Structure 1
Amino acid sequence: MNTRKAMADSAANVPAGPSLLREKGIIKRFTDRYSESRGKAIIYSSAFLMIIAVVAITLFLTLQGLRSFVIDHLNIWNFLTGTEWYPDRASNPQFGAFPFIFGSVAVTLLAALLATPIAIGTAIFMAELANKWGQRIMQPVIEILVGIPSVVYGLIGLSVFVPLMRAHFGGSGFNLLAGALVVGIMILPTVASIAADSIRAVPDKLREASYAIGGTKWQTIWKVVIPAAGSSLMTAIVLGMSRAFGEALAVQMVIGNARNLPHSIFDPSATLTTIITLSMGNTTTGSVLNDALWSLGLILLAISYIFILIIRYLSRKRVV
């Protein structure tokens, strides 16, 4: 009798079967024939909204940027290659954007040259030389560098780099090199983080093959790992350059914002982003200067697309 009672109690404690769950409506909630459709609708709508946003921004900026040439009749070649920017002249105003295009490209390239060796070295340290404790130490450092606001980098550059430039190279201290140093520090965590992931993705069998034929640790890193991750490392560098190209506030604080074409890295300059942020608030919608600034924004967008195309090309060539 006691045995039957125990069995009955055990049966009572057994989880409810599918039929009982269905009767209680539990399974029905999860097997509703419309639930999967609703989920797909939400996901596809999210993706569609992203596409619409990109297309809308591109079309809007294109239409606004072409006003200078279609409505105001500025010569597009003179606009791109001209070296004088004097939009406030009462007679014969000049809209030459080449100094700003040159300044943006120069700051981006200099920042990449300064940041890449340090970033790649940090990535090798994290992924190859100190894989465990190096990751625990360097990852928080990278996250801190990413989280620092742009204005803080600009203030550091204004307080440290500009006085150093003034003391050692003369002039005001506001120059291309100061801007490149600030931006180089800003893109360090981006390049280092992606480069470390690229190096970790190299198959271990390549390292083992190098050790098997007598290669040292450094020879394996230099001759095997880095070449195998080469295209991925280039992707990291290009991503850092795209980040540098679009920076405005930090560069604006240290570069000098001169309208003239610089003759050296120690001369003040300006970039596309700095001239837009400095001038847009002083224009009226529909004016020639306002339309010209939108054209500068269109140039920024076009060069950003070039960076994206380069990244896509490098991604297809990846070995790992």
Structure 2
Amino acid sequence: PAASAQPAAPEPIGNVATLTGTATVTRNSTATPLQIRDDIFANDEVATSGTSSLGITFNDGTTFNLRANARITIDNYVYEDGGQQNSALFNVTKGTAAFVAAAVAKTGDMKISTPTATLGIRGTTGLVEVPEGATATSRNVGIKLYPDADGHVGRIEVNDRSGASLGVLTRGASGFAIRPGTGGARFAAVPLTISPQQITRDQGFVRQVHSAQTLGRQVVTEQRDFRRANPDFRRANPAAPYPNRGQPVQPNPQRQNGLPGQNRNTPQQPGQQNRPGQMQQPGQPNRPGQQPGTPGRQGSQ
């Protein structure tokens, strides 16, 4: 009889982009240390230890940056380039997580859940702060909205866990604390007064998540290209890491627009000779790091 077909291996939905200190992923009840470029799959639970931080970029460009002692679970992630039924649900159970939304939020339904509220993310940057031991009846969860890297401010719709609306954030540097309600209401979204010192601290987190997104897009593209060029690699080497695992990511301007949802209208930075994919014209100055008289090869590292 013909051999039965082997089930297809699950496809990664993202990759580790940045890592300081130690972080782990729990998959199929087994905890494993993470390294840069490692694959992330649906239903993974990722966590950071003390004094650590972790940046994860997903296939659509959505990026999370977890601070120390943070934990999130990817409860759902469906993304198809150009599709209109994309969706994602990220469950922040502990700690501070900065995020920047991308294609899923713009073309589908992206949500972030916490112990007391569920957030509808409509293409924006934000912070979620879940204190240690937060439950549906204790400890306040903080939610903040900040501008994207290009200055655009999106929208965060805040609902309780049953779906009832608690409020909407549409202004940069604004936020809610989710607290037990009064007068029969189970929860209430109380506007936060964010001090200048807190804004400065938060902006540092936001810059880090934007930087992680830039590197993460490159990692996701490189790992995707490797899988396509080597379709039998994972089947033949189920436990083998991909090349360059754990190595820092060097920014490559030629990959900056490699994923959907990225702003392709960003002005060219001073000193850039060529846009990604543009051929060097005869007589044009050499790019930085190129030896005089050596022809420039497009895409070289």
Greater relative contact order (Cα < 8 A, sep 6+): 1
TM-score, with length taken from structure 2: 0.26
In proportion to residue count, which structure has more helix?
A: 1
In proportion to residue count, which structure has more strand?
A: 2
TM-score, with length taken from structure 1: 0.25
Question: Which has the greater radius of gyration?
Answer: 1
